[in-house]
């Protein structure tokens, strides 16, 4: 929590924040009075611009353990009745995933546009991926994030609100393109739906794969620990999503990678990503 320093001399500020007393003291006693009787005020020193922070500087990854996935067994869905999971815990082909609390997430880089929260463990790799993308003239400055963390509540709105739209009349039809609440990889915070600023009509559409951004991700994303969860023709029977990339770390030993790989273990084992991270 930053210390508020904007007010006039405030003894209360001095008392409440013992580690930030100098500014408060300076407001009460002119600096030269501390050492000697009050001398004439020295000429003001021109302000010195603060150094610009290096945008690629990233704090060490934070390992945050997700809460357990929701209860197993029959699930009430969209106020339309109860549905059964399959024996492996899936609901309409989607594995159950826990919902990362918003307080544990961080803002994605602003260059991705919009408001986007992600798991802190991916920050280092994400910044490196963006730096590499920006160094490639074919896509420099064009990568965007269409969607990142989605809470279970938002996923409920997304899934249930899409029932009966565009031919998605049943849960199974809807689940082809959207995970039921409690079953979206997005709720973990480890996923980004990437888009492009140059072909926005292709964002979250199959044609994204053919955009420069889509092609670049296919070639390079795995180098930074991102893999395509739902490749074309996947046996999980989920719609091909060339924009949907989950972070699992470049190696199992990378900080924060183990919890991510544990969360996605079933999906990665049974329905491998393509491109995938080893
Ligand atoms: Zn997605």
CA 60 – ligand 1 centroid, Å: 26
CA 39 – ligand 1 centroid, Å: 66
What are the structural domains of the chain?
Answer: 1-39 (no CATH), 93-270 (3.30.1380.10)
CA 13 – ligand 1 centroid, Å: 46
Is the pLDDT reported for residue 65 higher than 80? no
Angle at 250 between CA 246 and CA 252, to 5 degrees: 100
Is the pLDDT reported for residue 217 higher than 70? yes
Q: What is the mean predicted confidence (pLDDT) over 12-38? A: 39
CA 243 – ligand 1 centroid, Å: 7
Is the pLDDT reported for residue 50 higher than 80? no
CA 9 – ligand 1 centroid, Å: 51
pLDDT tens readout for residues 92-148:
999 999 999 999 999 999 999 978 999 999 999 999 999 999 999 999 999 999 999
Q: Taking the model in full, what pTM does it have?
A: 0.76
For residue 28, the model assigns a pLDDT of: 39
CA 59 – ligand 1 centroid, Å: 26
**At 88, is the pLDDT very low, low, confident or very high (cuts 50, 70, 90)?**
confident
Strand partners, 75: 83
CA 138 – ligand 1 centroid, Å: 24
For residue 239, the model assigns a pLDDT of: 96
Question: Would you tell me how many other CB atoms lie within 10 Å of the CB of residue 193?
Answer: 19
CA 162 – ligand 1 centroid, Å: 15
pLDDT tens readout for residues 231-250:
999 999 999 999 999 999 99
**At 177, is the pLDDT very low, low, confident or very high (cuts 50, 70, 90)?**
very high
CA 242 – ligand 1 centroid, Å: 9
CA 147 – ligand 1 centroid, Å: 7
CA 209 – ligand 1 centroid, Å: 14
Is the pLDDT reported for residue 91 higher than 60? yes
What is residue 269's three-state secondary structure? helix
**At 273, is the pLDDT very low, low, confident or very high (cuts 50, 70, 90)?**
very high
- Residue 45 sits at φ, ψ, to 5 deg, of -90, 130
**At 10, is the pLDDT very low, low, confident or very high (cuts 50, 70, 90)?**
very low
CA 24 – ligand 1 centroid, Å: 49
Is the pLDDT reported for residue 160 higher than 80? yes
Name the region of 59 (left: φ>0; alpha: ψ -120 to 50; beta: rest).
Answer: beta
CA 72 – ligand 1 centroid, Å: 23
Average pLDDT, the chain: 82
């Amino acid at each position: 929590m930053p210390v508020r320093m904007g007010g006039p001399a405030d003894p209360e500020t001095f008392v409440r924040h013992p580690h930030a007393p100098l500014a408060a003291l300076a407001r009460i006693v002119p600096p030269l009075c501390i050492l000697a009787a009050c001398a004439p005020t020295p000429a003001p020193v021109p302000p010195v611009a603060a150094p610009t922070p290096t945008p690629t500087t990233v704090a060490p990854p934070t390992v945050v353990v997700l809460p357990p996935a929701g209860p197993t067994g029959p699930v009430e869905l969209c106020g339309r009745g109860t549905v059964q999971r399959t024996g492996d815990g899936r609901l309409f082909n989607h594995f159950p995933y826990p919902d990362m609390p918003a307080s544990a997430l961080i803002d994605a880089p602003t260059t991705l546009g919009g408001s986007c929260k992600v798991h802190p463990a991916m920050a280092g790799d994400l910044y490196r991926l963006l730096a590499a993308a920006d160094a490639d003239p074919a896509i420099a400055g064009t990568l965007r994030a269409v969607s990142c963390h989605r809470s279970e509540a938002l996923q409920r709105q997304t899934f249930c609100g899409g029932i009966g739209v565009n031919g998605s009349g049943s849960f199974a039809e809807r689940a082809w393109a959207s995970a039921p609440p409690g079953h979206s990889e997005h709720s973990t915070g480890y996923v980004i739906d990437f888009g492009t600023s140059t072909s926005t009509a292709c964002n979250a559409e199959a044609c994204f794969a053919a955009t420069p951004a889509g092609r670049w991700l296919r070639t390079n994303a795995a180098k930074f620990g991102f893999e395509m969860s739902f490749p074309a023709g996947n046996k999980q029977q989920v719609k091909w999503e060339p924009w949907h990339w989950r972070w699992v770390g470049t190696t199992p030993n990378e900080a924060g990678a183990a919890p991510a790989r544990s969360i996605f273990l079933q999906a990665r084992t049974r329905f491998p990503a393509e491109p995938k991270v080893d």
